[in-house]
Structure 1
Amino acid sequence: MEKHIKAPIEKQAAAKLKVGDYVYITGTIYTARDAAHKRMYEALSEGKELPVDIQKQMIYYMGPSPAREGRPIGSAGPTTASRMDKYAPQLLDLGLGAMIGKGKRSPEVIEAIRRNQSVYFAAVGGAGALLSKCITKSEVIAYDDLGTEAIRKLTVENFPVIVVIDSDGNNLYETAIKEYCTYSDDAEIR
């Protein structure tokens, strides 16, 4: 099913999203990858505030390439989400509304998504140039010294994603395998 949502995301909106939904996001999202997540984790461990209020926000696991002339950002494809799994449950417990990346998540992250009524979206890997066309503004807001891994505030219009883990903890990577694969008696996948 195709849905259009606003970012930041309210819990009521997240609850209406189900695995497999095609979603178009319009609004403000933030980028953060490994190094930025590590810094946020360290800041929280030291009792400091995060550089952005993450309540209801969406974090896109992405580090862009340099922007072409006249464009706000370069190629903007997702990075592997599992690299942030160590940090994600804590951010979800602090109110993070959604994450965007690619690939599977750990059982701990899936439980934190369910517990906090959040959602995990996948963006299409390899489509970074196309995804960048949905980004109308990009501004570094924290950790500028990290270069491409700095935290950016993005303004997006109809940014395309797929719900991979919904607020009930349903996981498209598991349900899709069950739905589309059949097994023969000798356990070969056909």
Structure 2
Amino acid sequence: MRKINRTKLLDRKHDRRSAKLFVIATEGKDTEKQYFEMFGNRKVKVEILATGDDDKSAPEYVLERLDKFKDLYGFSEDDELWLVLDVDRWVKKDQLISVCPQARQKGYQLAISNPCFEIWLCLHFGDLFPEDRTCRHFEIRLRNILGSYNKSNLDVFAYKPNVKDAIERSRSLDLKLNEYWTSQLGTRVYKLVESILQSLND
């Protein structure tokens, strides 16, 4: 398969010589895509590989999506390729456990949330509550905080001012860095966002 030059990934409005590329393959269709796209500017290009209408959201499909994309384009050593996955549906199955070492071996980075991406969104607004346990709990909490929560129509402006707070709260929950994901409630999305912010500030 013929590779396509990475500069074709960079919008003409971006500086092709200096823009850093983040390729993010996600389990979700809409929420993650809307969230991460808010970080793109002339220094950073964010390319989201979301789950499509085929609904292939299992970890092996997310990994496959990133593999295919990498095969098509040439990348700089500074570019970063990430998998954004949730624990809630896969922790009791072999898929997630199998995919993590494969991804690391290929040089991909992992941003896994336990139980789901909504925990990262909630951490923009405060610490976890004792009753927080499931994705449904976090979605209800977001509705209570924001007045509404729609996965397909995310109000990114509500989150943007609190990104650094979310990073700090997430880091405080991340007690076992040697694991692929936090065994307790938590999320490693902060590592991805931290890297994006660092690139924006360089």
Shared fold (TM-score, shorter chain, > 0.5): no
Q: With CA pairs under 8 Å and 6+ residues apart, which has the higher RCO, 1 or 2?
A: 1
Q: Between Structure 1 and Structure 2, which shows a larger proportion of strand residues?
A: 1
Q: Between Structure 1 and Structure 2, which shows a larger proportion of helix residues?
A: 2
Query: TM-score by structure 2 length?
Result: 0.30
